[in-house]
Chains A and B, each alone.
Chain A
Amino acid sequence: AQSVAQPEDQVNVAEGNPLTVKCTYSVSGNPYLFWYVQYPNRGLQFLLKYITGDNLVKGSYGFEAEFNKSQTSFHLKKPSALVSDSALYFCAVRDGGYNKLIFGAGTRLAVHP
């Protein structure tokens, strides 16, 4: 079965510093990977996805993610964090052919001024 793991419950970073939110995956076949962000009292918002091609995927709000097949990782990154980036981040993998998503437990990002 497909799965993703987010090893950190919380990541703390100072505003202006680079940030990384980690995700590892376990799939049979080619992985279809996603990152979503959830702000308080709001639904999940799509950030980016990896299907195939370039290992560095660029997404919304200046985020990018690096796909690493040998390490089975798909870490979310941003060169310079903003306080407004503080939110809950979910990594997800598509399971099967019907677009079903399996989500990780989430990582809370706290960006301090």
Chain B
Amino acid sequence: EAGVAQSPRYKIIEKRQSVAFWCNPISGHATLYWYQQILGQGPKLLIQFQNNGVVDDSQLPKDRFSAERLKGVDSTLKIQPAKLEDSAVYLCASSLKTARVGFAYEQYFGPGTRLTVT
């Protein structure tokens, strides 16, 4: 089974530029997550999709970050304009479903995109 695919793996941009990241989840996985992992910290959820609908975007800086999941499969995360503090690894994950009482679905992570903003 193919894993979660992400591209690009690395990106260097100057502040105030824009950047986009792409994610292809595991086939058949309904739920897709974008996390931001700053060096020395654990991943922090930015946005969660169930199929092509947003379930949670409470920690997404909506003035500069946007994300979409067209047709409930691939997803794109965009930053415009980028700030120095956006330097981080952006991880995409997917799970079969969202959740149900008494059960939790494992999240499968992609390799991440390392963003450096100069």
Residues of A within 8 A of B (CB): 32, 34, 36, 41-46, 49, 51-52, 90, 92, 94, 96-101, 103-106
Contact = CB atoms under 8 A, between A and B. Distances in A.
Q: Which 10 pairs between the two chains have the least Cβ-Cβ distance?
A: A103-B42, A43-B109, A99-B99, A44-B109, A46-B106, A32-B104, A43-B111, A98-B55, A99-B98, A43-B110
B107 A101 contact: yes
A39 B50 CA distance: 28
A19 B56 CA distance: 36
Nearest to B99: A99
B111 A106 contact: no
A94 B99 contact: yes
A51 B107 contact: no
A44 B55 CA distance: 22
Contacts of A94: 99, 104
Interface in B31-82: 31, 40-45, 48, 50, 55-56
A45 B109 contact: yes
Interface of B: 4, 31, 40-45, 48, 50, 55-56, 91, 93, 95, 97-99, 101-112
Q: Is the interface of B mostly helix, strand, loop or mixed?
A: loop
Contacts of A49: 104, 106
Nearest to A90: B42
B48 A98 contact: yes
Contacts of A99: 31, 48, 95, 97-99, 104-105, 107
A51 B102 contact: yes
Contacts of B91: 43-44
Contacts of B106: 34, 46, 49
26 contacts: A34-B106, A41-B111, A43-B91, A43-B109, A43-B110, A43-B111, A51-B103, A51-B104, A97-B101, A98-B48, A98-B56, A98-B99, A99-B31, A99-B95, A99-B97, A99-B105, A99-B107, A100-B45, A100-B48, A103-B42, A103-B43, A103-B44, A104-B42, A105-B40, A105-B41, A106-B41
